[in-house]
Structure formats: structure tokens, C-alpha cells
Structure 1
Amino acid sequence: MSEQSTIFRETQQRIASWLHNCADQLTLSMSLGIFGDHSFARYIASELKQQGFNKITFISSNCSSSKLDDLPVIKPADEQLAALNAIFLGSMALPQSQQKILEDNGYNGAIFAVPDGQTMCTEPRFDPTDKHALAALKNKHKGETFFVIGNGPSINATPPEQLKDGIFMAGNGILLRTEFRPDYYFLIDSICVDAWQPIIESLTVPILAVSHLAERMQGINNTLFYPVSYQTELADLNPADTGFFSGNTIICPMILFATYMGAKRIVILGVDNNYSKLATKNYHFHKDYYKNTDLVIDESTGKNLELRQQTGILHAVRTAQSMGVEVVDATPVDNNLGLVKADYHQFI
């Protein structure tokens, strides 16, 4: 059996120690809340249940169901919030934001947040990472130009099919462009597996997917799973041991992997990042990007999403630049990144 990543084991140990310290301050009869409905929040709930706590409620601003994992779900503004004796923050990346929401809604009980969560893996439940396979990617394409290709509408004006030389990285719905296949295909969201699984299963190129998709992608060949953390200041790139952050967009891990693989230059395409400015609701290059999904982003949500993705992408860019990689942006729209612009036509 190949050596596995240490980040998962370290995450589990750190969470277990933190929860043990928290539990020492509580009694089993207390009513507990967990703010969040994603993997880490649900992991906290499962661990607390194993310790004997059975009065647990999820707090979620977005969950449309009244139950999650057979536990009740309430909104932050629900009057039941005040009855909770303590609340665990289910965000590793932004616990301060969650705490502010609770305080704004009048909660004044005990609040627990995992220390230094941004350095942990967001999926402690799985350990599928093959450390040796990740190590084999280091400097695999040393000195080459990488194209990091997003799914914004602008790639219809800068089609990746016309690119001739370089290493091509793309992900998610790029598979709808039937005449183009990247050299490396990336996945970070389960919705993408649901939308395009038959095409994903037919791919012959390497697939780089985040670890929390391991169960969903069992049996799909050519797939290498890597851990995700929210740690953005990386002194050294070692995806197996430190994880790569998602930055709320697949562009971030692509930039980091391009750097890890030895890129001399990275050219960004199709990263529009202007959800709040679009007159139409075509956020992607294909009008039916997500079938059966009426995706509508209001201006406020769009601005927030732009800022979060801008922050993540620029973190990844700074990491690449600190390691001597030139990064240019050939996206032909204003995408709030402020990167050096390049003309797409020089690459075809």
C-alpha cells in the first residue's frame, strides 16, 4: 500500500483534541448548535453524537431542508437560536464571519471555533490521496507555458480549441466544448459530477479531484485525489502534506498545480469574474451550462462572489509569482484581478 497523506491524520487528531477540550466545558444534557451544513459542520455533529450529545441543531442560512443527517435545521434569525447553550462554528476558513452573524442575531452563549482551521483539510473523513502519485507531478512539465482555462462567457471569443502549444488545464463544464479536451481536467464540486459524470467517465486525460469527491467518483479511472485546505500562504508547494486551497474557484488549484508542475509562465483564459455586471444570466460560456438549474445571482451576491474569487485567485497568483512563475491574463474582459493583460491571439 502506498504511503498516504499526513494532512488527514493530523486534521483528525487536531479536531479530536479540540472537541475533547470543548466537551469538558459542556454537559450531555445541553442543547448544542452547529453553524453550517457542509462537510466540516456535519463531521463535528457526527463526532459530538458519538460522544453522547443528542440535542444537536444545525444552523444554516442556505439549507432548504428542515432536517440534515436526521437533525433539525434552523436559520440564524430563528428564535430557537437563543435556547442553544453553545454553538460550534462549522467554517474552517471564515469562523469570524459566522461569529458575527450569530452576534448580529443576538446570540450571547458560548461559541467554539477550531483553532487554525485554515491549515487543516476540509474533508477529514476520507484519505484517498496517493502521496507518490502527487510527488510524480512535481516539475513534470518544467519550463513550459500553462493555460489555465475558466468557463466564463468570454472563452467563446478566445476559444481554447485554437491554442496550439502548451499544457492545458480546465475543469467542470469545459466538457461541453466537445472539440476541446485539456491535458488535465479538474473537479472541486459534486454538482459537476452529477452534471457530467458520463463524459467524465469517458475521459482519458488525468483527472485531478478534491478528496471529498472520492466516494462519488469510485471506479472512474485516471483520477488522482488531493486534499483541500484553506491555507493560502504557502512557503512550499506540497499538495499531499499541506493541501491546496480552492479559493472558491477551480482556477486556484489549477494555478497552484501548474506552478507545482514546473510552469515557466501561466496564461489565464475565461476567468470573467463579473457576475454582478452581466446584463444576461449567462454566467458561463454555454447557455445550458447546468441543465435543469435556473441559476440567478443577484447583484449583492454577485459582488460577494467576485470578491471571494478575486481574493483566492490573487493568493494563488502571488504564490506562483513568488516561485518565479510569470502570470498573465488573456481574458478579454475586466475581471477585477488587475493582472498584466496579454493578447489571446499571440498564443494561436
Structure 2
Amino acid sequence: MSQIKKSLLRIYNSLYLVKFNIVNFFSKKNIPLTKNNYKILRLKNKYKGKRCFIIGNGPSLKPEDLERLKGEFTFASNKIYKIFNKTTWRPTFYMVVDPIVLEENAKDINLVEAQKKFTLKVYKKLLNADIYFNNNLNKDKRGTFSTKVMESLYSSGTVSYHMLQIAFYMGFSEVYLIGHDYNYKDAVSRTRDLSFLKMASNSEHYFSQDYFRNDEKKPGQAPDEIYYGMEKAKIVFERSGKKIFNATRVSYLDVFETKDYDSLF
């Protein structure tokens, strides 16, 4: 590469960094300087006082339960599309944040039907989304529950944690989790002994036996991060007079008050 090209590249990178820092400075104050951030701002408290459902992909998830969610505000993620051939329900909001899931399934993920698709800014080239978010912008704050999602979301083991942050920003006052079985072999609990989950018979983690292809690279699991993240989410919601309920049919996640799914309709 010639010296001129190298100099131009350095100038470009410097200008990009300046722009990035300016945009993020104003994002902290919830002031949008980009089209993408303006889209985020339009979501702030848009659904104030309403309820929504955040759908996990655990083995308890059934197509007939999804059918009942038509007309509800719903968040879904990852390979939820594997159940689309059994239900006419489609999610309001859809999100993917795991790079392995995206890279292994980009073609199918880009075909998912949803009113709005979310992902992280670093995956712009992989997913044609409606809105892109920063993630873990401040590395020291990883695991934080962000209430300023224009600035950044933060990770804690599951895409559901990201969706909870977005749901909070949108103003939902009641969030119901379904399909969050949390039946991982290293699951954490403050109320019961979950050592039996280490048995092979309890190793099914998804609603479909063909959730993964035989040659597909699988994402890792971080049940401890998930648990502690959910505890943080509960605190933030309840401090604001909002609630998260676990309406999963079979769940070992004991952070939230449970609700009978059928009683919600």
C-alpha cells in the first residue's frame, strides 16, 4: 500500500472515531444524531402501560401456545423460525445477538417474518435489521441492565436479557416469559437443588429436535450469567413499578414470580 493510501486510511479512521465518539456522547443523553438512533428514540415509552411476551426457545414451547399470542406484543429470537411451520403466529420484534447463531444461519435469519428486527451494530453486514444497537460499549459495565439503550445494551448470557432492556425502554409494564425452561446442567438456583439437571435425560434445551443441523457450530451456554442477569432485570423493573413474570410451562428459573400461562387469556 502506498504512503498516500496509508495516510488517507489513517485520516478516515480518525474521522470515523471522532464521529463515533460524538454520536455516543449524545446517545448517553438520549439525543439521536443518526437515523438509526432516531428510530430507537421513537420506541421510548411507545408501549407504556402495556404487556408483552418474551419468548425463549426451550422444550416447553408449543405452537398452540404461540397461536394464543396473536394480537399481543411479542419478542422472539434466534431460531424461533424453526416452529413457524406449525403456527401462523409471527413475532412483533425479533432479535439475534450471538455471532455463532448469525454466522451459521444468516440466510434463514434474514428471511424471518417480524414487524421489526433488531441486532447489534457489529453485525450490520450479516443481518438486514430495522435497528442496530451498541453492545457492551463500556466493557467495565458488562452485565449491567441498560435503561439507556440508545447508548448501549449490555450482555448477560442470553439474548432475552437484551430484549428485556429494550422492553423496559419501550415502556412495557408487564413482561411475561415463556419458553424459558432454564434446564441447563449448570443451572443456578437460590431455592432448590438442580443437580438432577446434569443427567443426560434432561439435556434437551430447545423446542425442536432438529433445532441444530448436524454440521452446525453451537453457541456456548452461560447459565450463571443468565441467572444473575435476570436478578438485575427484576430489580430494575420493580424499582420502576414494572413486573416480570415467568409464565413458562416448565421452568427451573426461580428469579421471577410465576404465572399460569392459561390464566393470562
Structure 2 length-normalised TM: 0.72
Q: What residue number does 1:34 align with?
A: none
Match of 1:25 in 2: none
Matches of 2:119 and 2:218, distance apart in 1: 26
C-alpha contact (below 8 Å) 1:129/1:240 kept by paired residues? no
Equivalent position of 2:82 in the other structure: 176
Corresponding position of 1:226: 133
Aligned residue for 1:338, secondary structure, equals coil
Whether 1:210 aligns to 2:136 is no
| CA deviation map 1:49-104 (0-9, x unaligned) | xxxxxxxxxxxxxxxxxxxxxxxxxxxxxxxxxxxxxxxxxxxxxxxxxxxxxxxx
Letter in 2 for 1:307: D
Shift of 1:166: 2.5
Deviations 1:266-317 (A, max 9, x none): 00111112211161532111111121247899xxx97xx2212111122222
Q: In structure 2, list runs of 5 or more residues that go unmatched.
A: 1-15, 26-33, 186-196
CA shift, 1:160, in A, is: 1.9
2:155 to 243, 246, 249: 246
**Aligned pair partner of 1:142 in 37, 41, 48:** 48
The structure-2 alpha-carbon separation of the partners of 1:312 and 1:228, relative to structure 1 and needing over 3 Å to count, comes to same
Cα distance change, pair 291–10 in 1 and its aligned pair in 2 (3 A): farther
1:272 touches 1:333 (CA, 8 Å); kept in 2? yes
Higher relative contact order by CA 8 Å / sep ≥ 6: 1 or 2? 2
* Residues 1:9 and 2:21 are matched in the alignment: yes
* Mapped partners of 1:11, 1:137: distance in 2: 18
Confirm or deny: 8 A CA contact 1:5 1:240 kept in the other structure.
no
Please say if residues 227 and 255 of structure 2, whose CA atoms lie closer than 8 Å, have aligned partners that are also in contact. Answer: no
Task: Quickly say closer, same or farther: Cα 1:5–1:146, change in 2 above 3 A.
Answer: farther
In the superposition, relative to structure 1, how do residues 294 and 228 fare at CA in structure 2: closer, same or farther (>3 Å)?
Answer: closer
Q: Is 1:279 aligned to 2:201, yes or no?
A: yes
| Structure 1 residue 228: Cα displacement | 1.0
In the TM superposition, residue 6 of structure 1 has moved relative to its aligned partner by: 9.4
Deviation at 1:154, TM superposition (A): 1.2
- CA–CA separation in structure 1 for the residues paired with 2:181 and 2:42: 32
CA RMSD between the two structures? 3.3
Shift of 1:201: 2.5
Q: Which moved more, 1:337-346 or 1:152-161?
A: 152-161
Structure 1 residues 271 and 181 mapped into 2: Cα distance closer, same or farther (>3 Å)?
A: same
Residue 7 to residue 316, structure 1, CA distance change in 2 (3 Å)? farther
Distance apart, 1:5 and its partner CA: 11
Contact 2:61–2:207, Cα closer than 8 Å, also in 1: yes
Contact 1:208 1:224 in 2 (8 A): yes
Tell me, in whole angstroms, the C-alpha distance in 2 between the residues paired with 1:340 and 1:7: 44
Query: Which secondary structure state, in structure 2, belongs to the residue aligned with residue 225 of structure 1?
Result: strand
1:5 and 1:315 map into 2 onto residues whose CA distance is: 32
Question: How far apart are 1:205 and its partner, in Å?
Answer: 1.9
Partner of 1:18: none
Change (3 A) 1:208 1:5: farther
Could you tell me how far apart the structure 1 residues matched to 2:48 and 2:41 are? 14
Q: Distance in 1 between matches of 2:253 and 2:234?
A: 14
Residue of structure 2 in register with 1:290 after alignment: 212
| Contact 2:92–2:114 (8 Å) recurs in 1 | no
The within-5 A match list for 1:1-348 is 9=21, 130-156=36-62, 159-178=65-84, 179=87, 180-202=89-111, 203-217=113-127, 220=128, 222-229=129-136, 230-233=141-144, 237-241=147-151, 243-276=152-185, 277=197, 279-293=201-215, 305-348=222-265
What is the percent sequence identity of the aligned residues? 22
The answer for unaligned runs of 5 or more in structure 1 is 14-127
3-state SS, counterpart of residue 239 of structure 1: coil
Separation in 1, partners of 2:52, 2:148:
19
Instruction: State the TM-score, normalizing by the size of structure 1.
Output: 0.56
Q: Which amino acid aligns with 1:9?
A: N
**Secondary structure of the structure 2 residue equivalent to 1:275:** coil
